[in-house]
C-alpha cells in the first residue's frame, strides 16, 4: 500500500486524486489531508478516508471544522485519533507524517512551497500539480530533489506528457519541445473585447474544470507562462527550447521536435485523472477504466502559433524565466495578488498584466540562495502588487456603479 498525503484535498486536483484512490483501494491509503477553508467538504473526506493527519488553512477553519462535530457522530468518531492542525506548519507536519510515501502537491499558489520542499527534504516522492512551487522556488526545490534523490513526478498534463515523451529520447536528439495551450475562456475574443469581460465569463473554461485561480491564469495565458518556467526546471531545458502553441482540442499535450525533423507527440483524453494516477503509481502503469480517447468524436486537431501581443502575460513569463534569479518569484506573487483581486471583482481582468509588468519593472533582482530569500521576495512583490492594484480600484468600482 502506498501512503498518500494530499495537499489541497478539497480542490479540483485533490478531489480527482481521491477519485483515483477510490478506483484502487488495494493500492493506496490516505494518510494526510490538507485543505484551506472548505471544512464541510473536508469533513466528508475525513469520514470517508480516515486520515491520521489533517490540516486546514487557519485557526478559524480549524474551529469551524471542530464545530461540525456537534450533531455529527461520524465526524466526531473519525476525528478521535486525528492530529488536527492548521497553517503552514500544519501542512508541513501532514506532508511529512510517518507512513507518507507520496505527496500529492495540489495546493494553489505559494502556500505549497514549504510543505512540498519539506517532503522532498525528508526523502518523500512528490507528485507535483502545484506549478507555483517551481516557479517561485525552482532553484531551491530542484537542488533538494538532487540531494535527496526523490522522484518529482509532474501532474500538469503538459509536463506529464513531456515526462513520457522525453523518457527514451537522447537529449542531444531534441531540437525543441512544444507545450500546447487551450487558449482559455477568451481565446476567441480580441484584446479590445476584453475591456468589458466579467469574472464569471473568465471562469468558463472551454475544455477543463479547474480551480478559480488556474481558470483565470488560463484566460490570461499566465498559466502557460508558469508552465514554461515549470518545464525549464523539471526537464533542465533552456527557454529557447520551449515553445507554446494553441491547440483548441486539448488532446495533444506536448510535441518534441527532434534534430532530424521527426516529432514525438503525446495524446490523451481531457481527463486529469490520467496524469494524477500515473504520478501516483509511477513507474507502474495501471488501467484506468473510463478514460479513453473517443476517435469517433475527433474530426480535427488544430494548432496555431502564439500571438504575444494578444497574450502579454506569456511574454512576461518568458522574460522573467530568462532573467531568472528572483524574477519568476516576483512574477508569481504579483500574479497571485492580481488574480485574487480580479476574483474579488476589485479590479478588471485587463489589470492583471500591467500590474505584473510594473511590479517586475520595479524589482531589484536578487540571487536566490535560501528559502528565506524567496519569502522576502514574495512578500515584497505582494506589497508592490497591492500598490499597483490600488491605481485600478477606484476607477473600476466607479465604472461598475455606472455600468
Ligand atoms: N485543476 C486542474 O485541472 C489542474 C491541472 C494542472 C495543474 N493544476 C495545478 O494544481 C494546483 C491546484 O489547482 P486546483 O485547480 O486543484 O485548485 P483549487 O481547486 O483552487 O484547489 C486548491 C486547494 O488548495 C487549498 N488551499 C488553498 N490555499 C491554501 C492554504 N493557504 N492552506 C491550505 N490549503 C489551501 C484549497 O482549499 P479550500 O478549497 O478548502 O479552501 C483547495 O483544496 C494549482 O497550482 C494548479 O495550477 C491544476
DSSP character string of 140-202 = HHHHHHHHHT--EEE-SHHHHHHHHHHTTS-GGGEEEEEEEE---TTTTS-TGGGGG--HHHH
Which is the closest atom of ligand 1 to the Cα of 215?
A: 15
34 touches ligand 1 (CB under 6 Å) = yes
Residue 402 above 60 pLDDT? no
Exposed, middle or buried: residue 71 (CB in 10 Å: 0-12, 13-18, 19+)? exposed
- Which residue, among 333, 349, 312, 318, has the nearest Cα to 387 in the 3D structure? 333
36 touches ligand 1 (CB under 6 Å) = yes
- pLDDT (mean) for 235-244: 98
272 touches ligand 1 (CB under 6 Å) = yes
Tell me, in angstroms, the distance from the centre of ligand 1 to residue 115's CA: 14
Cis omega (within 30 of 0) for bond into 187: no
pLDDT value at residue 392? 93
The span from the CA of 185 to the CA of 155, in Å, is: 22
Question: For the chain, what is the mean pLDDT?
Answer: 95
> 259-298 in b/e burial notation, b at 16+ Cβ within 10 A?
eeeeebbbebbbbbbbbbbbbbbbeeeeebeeeeeeeeee
CA dihedral 146, 152, 158, 160 (to 10 degrees): 120
Residue 204 above 90 pLDDT? no
pLDDT value at residue 378? 98
Residue 69 above 80 pLDDT? yes
Cα–Cα distances in angstroms (integers) from residue 3 to residues 75, 100, 182, 199, in the given order: 22, 5, 34, 38
Residue 403 above 70 pLDDT? no
Residue 109 above 80 pLDDT? yes
- pLDDT (mean) for 108-120: 98
Cα–Cα distances in angstroms (integers) from residue 347 to residues 83, 192, 388, 395, 397, in the given order: 40, 17, 11, 9, 8
- pLDDT (mean) for 199-219: 88
* Residues, the chain: 403
Question: Model confidence at 401, in pLDDT bands (50, 70, 90)?
Answer: low
Which is the closest atom of ligand 1 to the Cα of 213?
A: 20
**Bridging pattern class, strands 53-56 and 83-86:** parallel
Question: Model confidence at 36, in pLDDT bands (50, 70, 90)?
Answer: very high
Question: What's this model's pTM, rounded to 2 decimal places?
Answer: 0.96
Tell me, in angstroms, the distance from the centre of ligand 1 to residue 180's CA: 21
Residue 70 above 80 pLDDT? yes
Reading the block at residue 355, the C-alpha cell is: 500590474
Each as own residue / partner, the long-range contacts of residues 182-187 (CB below 8 Å, 24 or more positions apart, any chain) are 182/206, 182/207, 182/208, 182/218, 182/246, 182/247, 182/248, 182/250, 183/221, 183/246, 183/248, 184/215, 184/218, 184/219, 184/220, 184/221, 184/223, 185/215, 185/218, 185/219, 186/219, 187/246, 187/248
62 touches ligand 1 (CB under 6 Å) = no
Cα–Cα distances in angstroms (integers) from residue 269 to residues 293, 301, 346, in the given order: 5, 13, 36
- Per DSSP, what are the bridge partners of residue 30? 4
57 touches ligand 1 (CB under 6 Å) = yes
pLDDT value at residue 65? 97
Tell me, in angstroms, the distance from the centre of ligand 1 to residue 106's CA: 5
- Which residue, among 8, 290, 228, has the nearest Cα to 129 in the 3D structure? 8
Angle (CA) 270 286 24, round 5° = 95
Neighbours of 19 (CB within 10 A): 13
Share of the chain above pLDDT 90, in %: 87
Amino acid at each position: 500500500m502506498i501512503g498518500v498525503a494530499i495537499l489541497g484535498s478539497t480542490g479540483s486536483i485533490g478531489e480527482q486524486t481521491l477519485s483515483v484512490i477510490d478506483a484502487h483501494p488495494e493500492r493506496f491509503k490516505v494518510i494526510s489531508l490538507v485543505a484551506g477553508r472548505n471544512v464541510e467538504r473536508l469533513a466528508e473526506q475525513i469520514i470517508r478516508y480516515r486520515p491520521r493527519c489533517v490540516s486546514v488553512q487557519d485557526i478559524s477553519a480549524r474551529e469551524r471544522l471542530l464545530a461540525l462535530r456537534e450533531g455529527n457522530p461520524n465526524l466526531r468518531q473519525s476525528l478521535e485519533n486525528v492530529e488536527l492542525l492548521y497553517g503552514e506548519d500544519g501542512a508541513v507536519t501532514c506532508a511529512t507524517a510517518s507512513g507518507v510515501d507520496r505527496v500529492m502537491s495540489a495546493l494553489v499558489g505559494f502556500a505549497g512551497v514549504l510543505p512540498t520542499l519539506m517532503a522532498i527534504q525528508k526523502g518523500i516522492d512528490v507528485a507535483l500539480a502545484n506549478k507555483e512551487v517551481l516557479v517561485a522556488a525552482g532553484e531551491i526545490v530542484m537542488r533538494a530533489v538532487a540531494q535527496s534523490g526523490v522522484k518529482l513526478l509532474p501532474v500538469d498534463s503538459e509536463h506529464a506528457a513531456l515526462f513520457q515523451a522525453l523518457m527514451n529520447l537522447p537529449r542531444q536528439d531534441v531540437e525543441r519541445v512544444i507545450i500546447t495551450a487551450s487558449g482559455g475562456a477568451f481565446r476567441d475574443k480580441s484584446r479590445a473585447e476584453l475591456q468589458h469581460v466579467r469574472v464569471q465569463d473568465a471562469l468558463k473554461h472551454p475544455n477543463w474544470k479547474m480551480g478559480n485561480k488556474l481558470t483565470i491564469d488560463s484566460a490570461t495565458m499566465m498559466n502557460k507562462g508558469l508552465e514554461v518556467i515549470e518545464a525549464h526546471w523539471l526537464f533542465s531545458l533552456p527557454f529557447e527550447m520551449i515553445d507554446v502553441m494553441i491547440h483548441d482540442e486539448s488532446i495533444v499535450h506536448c510535441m518534441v521536435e527532434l534534430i532530424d525533423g521527426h516529432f514525438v507527440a503525446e495524446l490523451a483524453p481531457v481527463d486529469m485523472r490520467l496524469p494524477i494516477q500515473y504520478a501516483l503509481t509511477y513507474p507502474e502503469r495501471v488501467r484506468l477504466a473510463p478514460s479513453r480517447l473517443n476517435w469517433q468524436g475527433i474530426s480535427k486537431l488544430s494548432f496555431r502559433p502564439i500571438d504575444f501581443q494578444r497574450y502579454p502575460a506569456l511574454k512576461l513569463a518568458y522574460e522573467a524565466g530568462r532573467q531568472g534569479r528572483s524574477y519568476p518569484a516576483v512574477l508569481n506573487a504579483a500574479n497571485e495578488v492580481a488574480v485574487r483581486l480580479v476574483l474579488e471583482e476589485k479590479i478588471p481582468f485587463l489589470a492583471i498584466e500591467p500590474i505584473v509588468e510594473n511590479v517586475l519593472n520595479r524589482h531589484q533582482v536578487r540571487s536566490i540562495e535560501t528559502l528565506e530569500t524567496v519569502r522576502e521576495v514574495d512578500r515584497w512583490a505582494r506589497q508592490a502588487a497591492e500598490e499597483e492594484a490600488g491605481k485600478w480600484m477606484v476607477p473600476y468600482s466607479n465604472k461598475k456603479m455606472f455600468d
